[in-house]
Structure 1
């Protein structure tokens, strides 16, 4: 160290605004401070975190919290996804209903065709029975039991 350029290092009395005093060493003989270890909230355990209009809070108040924005965005995505799923389900249901209706129409057409064929077969059977009865009547030569072709055609039309 160089000689005669450094301040003198002396005992120092430190006085706090709370009334606490203690001694230490410094280049000044007396120090006045606003807060010390006896009155500082961190050391005394009475620390209170009060953020009255801090920078972060003011930013959040002005532009909104990022957490809220993300939550809103996620909720919108979920709602859109639910709407798409509901749309697909409705389309599938409509398709199933259309297929069922087409199947019912085919079944009704098949049933009508089967009923028509059954009626035609029954009419043919009636005609056959009449012809057999006429044939029996002519073989036995029973008077008045002759069927003409017109009567047979009328019977077929009536059966249909």
Structure 2
């Protein structure tokens, strides 16, 4: 053994957290330990709670169980998806109602235009009948048409 490179080997007093003390030899004059032969479960045969939990348990105690956090997150996602779906359905329904209203407006406009065309065609037929009656000479010669010459002229001017 080389001289001068090794630490000093001295008597050491070991103190346990249970209160037991004993003397041994070490490079340090005093040691403080958590468990010794007087309090270790293997030697005493009794169970002693040494650690309140492992790393995972301490993490779960500090930050909460991961299962609960995941369940909360999933519930929030489901609620958000349900809200989005409801919003989309409402938008689609509003769009369908708007299309139906526009279709009804177009149908009403088409019906009004068709009624106007029918009235115009009927008026034109009446005017044509009046013109035919006027060309024949009298209004009495045309069956079902009993108008004066002034009325025929007025209807012709209105149609033009």
Bigger mean CA offset, 65-74 vs 101-110: 101-110
8 Å CA contact 1:137–1:145 kept in 2: the answer is no
Structure 1 window deviating more from structure 2 (65-74 vs 126-135): it is 126-135
**TM-score for both structures, normalised by structure 2:** 0.52
The alpha-carbon deviation at position 128 of structure 1 amounts to 1.6
CA RMSD of aligned residues (A): 8.1
Q: Which runs of 5+ in 1 are unaligned?
A: none
Question: Shift in Å at residue 77 of structure 1?
Answer: 0.5
**Does the CA-based 8 Å contact 2:139-2:146 persist in structure 1?**
no
Question: How many angstroms apart in 2 are the aligned matches of 1:24 and 1:51?
Answer: 27
Q: Work out which structure has the larger RCO, using CA pairs closer than 8 Å and 6 or more positions apart in sequence.
A: 1
Deviation at 1:150, TM superposition (A): 3.6
CA distance in structure 1 between the aligned counterparts of 2:143 and 2:87, rounded to whole angstroms:
79
1:80, distance to aligned residue in structure 2 (A): 0.4
Matched pairs, number: 160
2:10/2:27 contact within 8 Å kept: yes
SS in 1 for 2:51: coil
Structure 2 segments unaligned to the other structure (5+ residues): none
Q: Deviations over 1:19-74 (max 9, x none)?
A: 99999999999999999999999999999999999987776566432111100000
Contact 1:10 1:28 in 2 (8 A): yes
